Each structure stands twice: as C-alpha cells, then as structure tokens.
C-alpha cells in the first residue's frame, strides 16, 4: 500500500533568464530595504553587479564566503551585517556563499534571498553545515530555509564547463538518493526523475557548447529539482560517504560526489529496484551503476579519490567512520563492502556490477 508524509516547501522560487532584474522587487516584497550582498572572493564582480541592480536597496557587499562555512568567517560577516545596518541578506554564489547566508540568517533572524550560480542545491534545503576547529556540525532546521530564490540562468554562464559537469553530478546524487529515500515521497520521486532526465541531457550539451543557454537553463532546472529533493527527503549511504570523505580528507565537494555516486548505486541496486529503473530511464543501459560511471567519465568528471588528494591509508579509517553511526540506507551497510567500494573509488576502477533486486517498492513502482 502507498503511504507517505509530504512536507511542502515555503521558499518562493523565481526561475528564468534575466530574472536578477526582479531582485529589487523581491526584496521589497519582503518589506526590506537594506540588503547585504554575500559572495566568495572569486565572485566579487557578479556580487557588485547585483548590488548595482539593487541600487539604493544595497547596504554593501561582504566577499569572504568560504567552503564549509567556517564559524570565524560568519562572525566577521556578522560584524559587517551590523556595521551596514542590513535588514536582509542576498547570497550570490554556490553552496559556500549560501551556507554563509544561512548561518547569518539563523543568527540574526534576517530574511535570506539567493541567486544560485552552481547546481549544489543548498538554496532549497533547511540544512546548514558549519566548521569550527576542524569539526563540521550539521543542523536541519525550518528557519534555515530561504525566503526567496531567484534562479537566473545568465549567472551560471560563467561556470566553467568542467565545473558545471561535477556540480551537475552533485545534483544528480541528490536526485538518485531521493529515489530510494527512507521517507519516500511521491513528489520527490517525480522531481528526482525529472532532475536526472534534465541533467543527463544538459551536461554533455554544456561540454559541447558552453554558450548553449538552453542547456544551461535545463541544467539549472534539474539542479533546482534535485535541491528540492535534498531539502524534502532524507539521504543515504552516498551522502554519508561524501560527508566523511570531505570532512576527513578535505576533499573537494562536488568532485567527491561525482567519483562516489556510481559505486553507491552499484551497492544499493539490490535493494532499490524502482530507483534503479528510474535511473535507467534517464541513463539507459543494462547496469545503472555502469551507466552513471560512463556518463560521469563522458563529461570529464574525475574518477579516482586518489586524484582528489585522498591517501590510500585513509580507506580503512573512512570505512570505520561510515559504518560507525548507523546512518539509514536501503541496503544494510557492512564495513567490508564499504571498504571495497572505497577501494574501487580510490583507485578509479569501475563500480561493482549492479545486481538488480526484485521490484517491491510501491512508492516508486508506478512512476519508474
Ligand atoms: P562553491 O560555492 O564553493 O563554489 C565553488 C567555486 O566556484 C567558488 O570559488 C565559487 O566562487 C565559484 N563559482 C560558483 N559559481 C560560479 C559561476 N557561476 N561562475 C564562476 N565561478 C563560480 O561550490 P558548491 O559546490 O556550489 O558548494 C559546495 C559547498 O556547499 C560545500 O561546502 C557543501 O557542503 C555545501 N552544500 C550544502 C548544501 C546544504 O544543503 N546545506 C547542499 C549542497 C552543498
């Protein structure tokens, strides 16, 4: 029997090309008038352009957002919020900048708007991961959700194609795990399948022609759907593996997702028939894990954790950490199997053959 709980999103989403021109209206719609614009040092140009669009509604630009949302940066930004007398926050960037915006919104209660420029999806989630003293702490709270997200395809045109490819695979990982989520939700299943279709079509097209705005729009659309899935349902082994690897070895976020995904799909295949069938629709082939591996290679994604800086001696430690806290997964997580998965991913080998299980999932079966 079908049975589920669905929680609706409260974030207002505006999607299109040139939509940043509507940002001032969105700030006014929240009855605000002094926006502090946030970005990383590399995106100061884009943030200043957004500041100019906001005109008198701009209270300043804070350009020191950094990966993993360090608390020390947040504290510096809090001083900037107060000095500028800001009454709302506008994040212009990827997950790093949006993480800073979330950290500030949580501490100040200020409304938070974002113009996402990658496919990481943080803008659609109530999740915040922060680092302090080398320890990453993750919180999931409704007040972390953004007020308004303005997706403007134009802002993604500067994302280099190889960065777009790994960022897109990061989004595909959210979608893949949403298909077999413990708290499976029919809307998330539909969104995840559509996200996979969109990204499977768009990423190779962006590689062929980085100026293909249609493909850039399709990729951003897929990223929105995948981010919504990440914010709606729980993730599983793939996200646990990437969290441990990122935290333990400081590996780059999107690239790590790109390497690990085919291996986790192979691992979970016997326990997630409907999800595998849906992945197979987006990326046709007899073996969904091999199809994802081939797709990732085809768009130039890295294949080996060793190439991202993970030492071979770290495999055992990572396997221990991954199995230590009983994270939910459709297939029980055994240390030896995780060790084997990590060893393959470390060396850049193809994933194990996906053994497809019986179709017994009433949530996804109708849609697969
Ligand atoms: P990022 O935000 O760190 O961006 C990567 C680099 O690309 C940065 O230097 C950035 O300035 C640059 N960049 C971004 N967009 C660009 C563009 N359009 N043109 C040119 N350069 C551009 O990377 P990310 O992958 O978006 O985010 C990763 C971070 O987000 C990680 O810390 C991860 O943990 C976090 N994250 C959080 C969630 C969540 O729900 N909380 C979800 C996904 C990712």
pLDDT, tens digit (0-9, with 9 covering 90-100), for 112-138: 999 999 999 999 999 999 998 878 889
Q: Give the Cα separation of 364 and 186 in Å (integer).
A: 7
Enter the pTM of the model.
0.96
Query: Does the beta carbon of 121 sit less than 6 angstroms from any atom of ligand 1?
Result: yes
Ligand 1 atom nearest to CA at 231: 40
Round to whole Å and give the CA distance between 96 and 89.
Answer: 14
Q: What's the pLDDT at 318?
A: 96
**Segment 220-229 mean pLDDT:** 98
Pairing of strands 148-152, 88-93: unpaired
Q: What is the C-alpha radius of gyration for the chain, rounded to an integer number of angstroms?
A: 20
> What confidence tens digit (pLDDT) does each residue in 170-206 have?
999 999 999 999 998 999 999 999 999 999 999 999 9
pLDDT of residue 365: 45
Beta strand residue intervals within the chain, DSSP E: 12-16, 35-38, 58-62, 88-93, 112-116, 127-132, 135-140, 148-152
pLDDT at position 93: 98
C-beta 272 within 6 A of ligand 1: no
Alpha-carbon distance 220 to 122, whole Å? 13
- pLDDT category at 357 given cuts 50, 70, 90 is confident
For the chain, the straight-line distance linking the first and the last C-alpha, in angstroms and rounded, comes to 16
CA of 117 to the centre of ligand 1 (A): 8
> Which pLDDT value is given to residue 361?
55
120, 136, 241, 246 from 253: Cα distances, Å: 9, 13, 11, 6
Q: How far is the CA of 5 from the centre of ligand 1 (A)?
A: 30
pLDDT at position 359, please?
66
Minimum-distance ligand 1 atom for the alpha carbon of 157: 18
Over residues 40-62, the mean pLDDT reads 97
Does the C-beta of 254 come closer than 6 Å to ligand 1?
Answer: yes
Does ligand 1 lie within 6 Å of residue 364's CB atom? no
- Residue 67 Cβ inside 6 Å of ligand 1? The answer reads yes
Instruction: Reply yes or no on whether the pLDDT at 367 is more than 70.
Output: no
Q: What is the mean pLDDT of the chain?
A: 95
pLDDT at position 315 is 98
């Amino acid at each position: 029997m079908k049975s589920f709980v669905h929680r609706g999103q409260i974030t207002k989403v505006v999607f299109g090309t040139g939509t940043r021109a509507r940002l001032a209206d969105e700030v006014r719609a929240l009855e605000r008038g002094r926006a502090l614009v946030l970005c990383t040092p590399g995106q100061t140009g884009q943030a200043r352009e957004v500041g100019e669009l906001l005109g008198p509604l701009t209270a300043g630009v804070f350009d020191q957002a950094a990966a993993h949302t360090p608390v020390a940066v947040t504290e510096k930004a809090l001083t900037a919020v107060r000095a500028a007398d800001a009454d709302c926050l506008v994040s212009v960037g990827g997950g790093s900048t949006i993480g800073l915006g979330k950290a500030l919104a949580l501490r100040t209660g200020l409304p938070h708007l974002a113009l996402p420029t990658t496919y990481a999806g943080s803008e659609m989630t109530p999740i915040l991961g922060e680092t302090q003293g080398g320890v990453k702490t993750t919180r999931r709270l409704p007040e972390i959700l953004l007020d308004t997200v303005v997706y403007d395809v134009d802002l993604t045109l500067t994302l280099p194609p190889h960065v777009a490819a790994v960022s897109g695979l990061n989004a595909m990982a959210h979608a893949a795990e949403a298909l077999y989520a413990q708290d499976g939700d029919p809307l998330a299943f539909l969104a995840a399948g559509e996200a996979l279709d969109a990204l499977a079509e768009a990423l190779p097209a962006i590689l062929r022609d980085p100026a293909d705005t249609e493909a850039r729009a399709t990729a951003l659309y897929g990223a929105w759907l995948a981010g919504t899935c990440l914010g709606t349902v729980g993730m599983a082994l793939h996200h646990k593996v990437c969290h441990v690897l990122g935290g333990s070895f400081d590996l780059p976020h999107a690239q790590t997702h790109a390497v690990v995904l085919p291996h986790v799909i192979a691992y979970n295949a016997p326990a997630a028939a409907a999800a595998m069938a849906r992945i197979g629709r987006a990326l046709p082939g007899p073996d969904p894990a091999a199809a994802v591996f081939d797709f990732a290679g085809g768009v130039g994604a890295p294949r080996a954790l060793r190439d991202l800086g993970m030492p071979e001696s770290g495999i055992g430690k990572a396997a221990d950490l991954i199995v230590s806290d009983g994270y939910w997964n459709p297939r029980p997580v055994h240390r030896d199997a995780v060790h084997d998965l990590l060893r393959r991913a470390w060396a850049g080998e193809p994933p194990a053959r996906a053994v497809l299980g019986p179709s017994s999932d009433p949530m996804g079966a109708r849609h697969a």
